[in-house]
Structure 1
């Protein structure tokens, strides 16, 4: 589990179907640890040290993950958002992020908005019921707040200078793809609503079982 607060901008050194190799300044990494790369939860399988402040790790990537994310677009030299998995005593600075990408969107536009930038992102229509104004969403692993919903398939989010400087959004442009994960709380609420609708149906069999009719 993650928070959507990016800890480091890593650099891809090798990219291919078996997995990804990236360099980072994050310490304390161990084989078997979960790590978020552009929002996708992967498992570290190899670690090597380049220097006292730089580490290189390898994470396997399945065909399913490549199909559901934009990780297949990464090349040597690509910058990526990195976040270590949440610890028991960690502060939840963003929102709960699972690292399970639900769809791929695109950057529609980037506009100046006073001291920040307003990004517009498109999203797959199947995510529409989880996209709500002022709700949380993870974009390439970054915890963002939805500022507005433009239509049935795009939303805007204001990106402050700190977030822009410390994430891959600083290098993104209109047309670039992004990994999307909607708020897990929205999914639980939707599931609860569906269950209530199903259990709330009154049928002939239900009335008979409960003794209202014979």
Structure 2
């Protein structure tokens, strides 16, 4: 799990195609790697990746064909900037919102405009994700936890303050940029709970069971 609070901006350092998927080396910039171990999760642009090798300023991860096909990872090149966040620990502050690192779909930047010292971005989500996005709810964009300002169909708006712009890859976004989107976990589970058929509940508490255990 992650929080959507970016800890460093890194970049793709090396890409090795391997029988239909990739092994990538990611330069970690200022990310503190002193407490990282093999098998730890480090999110890159909102994609949970497992470190199979690491050093003081890099980690190596395998990226599956599935991930390459359903996220922006398939468009990565050497030098592509990445938002990085290490997995959440139980004692950490939850400054953003709970993020799984499992991308739900790819959105597109529709417009960018300045609003005082901040910037307003309009982003179009895939039609299958629209129902999960609500005004004043949370959404994760390229690993960044953000609040949805407004929603119009499948287009939603977010406000980026100067600190977030400076410390993340959002400053590189342009109209037409493709972005990894992860909707709020609660919205997904609530939708599943409401739509799933109700399994028949068969109680194991019977008169015979009660009698057997001393209740007469």
TM category, shorter: 0.7 to 0.9
Match of 1:209 in 2: none
Return the alpha-carbon distance in structure 1 between the equivalents of residues 65 and 186 of structure 2.
28
Q: Does structure 2 retain, via aligned residues, the 8 Å contact 1:45–1:58? A: yes
Deviation string for 1:36-62 (max 9, x for gaps)?
A: 00001010011133xxxxx11111100
Q: Does structure 2 retain, via aligned residues, the 8 Å contact 1:16–1:72? A: no
Aligned match of 1:106 in 105, 108, 117? 108
5+ residue gaps, structure 2, are 199-216
| More divergent stretch after superposition (135-144 vs 28-37) | 28-37
Match of 2:8 in 1: 8
Aligned residues: 192
Match of 2:24 in 1: 20
Q: CA offset at residue 15 of structure 1? A: 2.2
User: What are the within-5 Å matches in structure 2 for residues 29-108 of structure 1?
Assistant: 29-49=36-56, 55-108=57-110
User: What are the within-5 Å matches in structure 2 for residues 117-128 of structure 1?
Assistant: 117-128=119-130
Deviation string for 1:85-127 (max 9, x for gaps)?
A: 0001011100000001010011111101112100011110001
5+ residue gaps, structure 1, are 50-54, 200-214
RMSD (CA atoms): 1.4
Return the alpha-carbon distance in structure 1 between the equivalents of residues 77 and 37 of structure 2.
24
TM-score between both structures, scaled by the size of structure 2: 0.85
Return the alpha-carbon distance in structure 2 between the equivalents of residues 19 and 165 of structure 1.
29
Match of 1:145 in 2: 147
Q: CA offset at residue 192 of structure 1? A: 2.4
Q: CA offset at residue 16 of structure 1? A: 3.9
